[in-house]
Amino acid sequence: MYMENFYVIESEDNPSIFCDAEKGLIEMEGRSLPENVDTFYNPVIEWVREYLKNPMPKTTVRFGFVYINSSSSKKILEILMLLKKLLPDNDLKIIWNYLPEDEDMYDEGMDFAKMTQLDFDFKITSE
C-alpha cells in the first residue's frame, strides 16, 4: 500500500516536518509555537495513525526542536504515545537532537522520555 510523504516547511512559528512512510522516518525540526496547534499538528497525527496501519519494521523519529510551547508539547506527547503502539512488534528509534548547552530542550526531551517510558537517544546537534 502506497502512502504519500507528508511534509511541512519550517517557518518562524512552526517546525519543519517530514514524514516518509517508505523509509519509516518522521522528522521534526525547529520552533513550535503555531497559532493553532490543532490545525498544525492534527494532519501529522492523522498521518501517523495511517502509518500505524501499515508500518515499516523499523521506524525512526528524529526531533530537533529549538523551542516548544506548552500546547505543542501536548501534541508531541500525543504523537509519541501513538508511535509507542509500534512496540513491541516493530522497532522504534527516537532521536532527540538539541543544541549544545540547551539544557531546557534536553529537559523537555527527558520529560517526554519519562512520560512515554520510551528510550530516547539524546544527541547534541552540531551546528
Residue 73 found at the interface with other proteins (CB under 8 A) = yes
Site for other proteins, residues 98 to 117, rule: CB under 8 A: 99, 101-104, 107, 110-112, 114-116
| 52 in contact with other proteins (CB under 8 A) | no
Query: What torsion do the CA atoms of 6, 9, 13, 14 make, to the nearest 10 degrees?
Result: 30
Please, which residue, 57 or 70, has the CB nearer to other proteins?
70
CA torsion sign for 105, 115, 88, 6 is negative
Q: What is the dihedral of CA 47, 4, 94, 97, to 10 degrees?
A: -100
- Please report, as a single letter, which amino acid is at residue 18: F
Return the C-alpha torsion angle 88, 38, 3, 83, nearest 10.
Answer: -10
Cβ closest to other proteins, residue 56 vs residue 113:
113
Spatial contact of 118 and 109, defined as CB atoms under 8 Å apart = no
Q: Which is nearer to other proteins, 25 or 71 (CB)?
A: 71
| DSSP H or E run through 94 | strand 91-98
Query: Does position 11 bind other proteins by CB under 8 A?
Result: no
Our CB check for other proteins shows the closer of 20 and 28 to be 28
Contact between 122 and other proteins by CB under 8 A: the answer reads no
Which chain residues interact with other proteins by CB under 8 A?
A: 33, 37-38, 42, 66-67, 69-71, 73-75, 77-78, 81, 84, 99, 101-104, 107, 110-112, 114-116
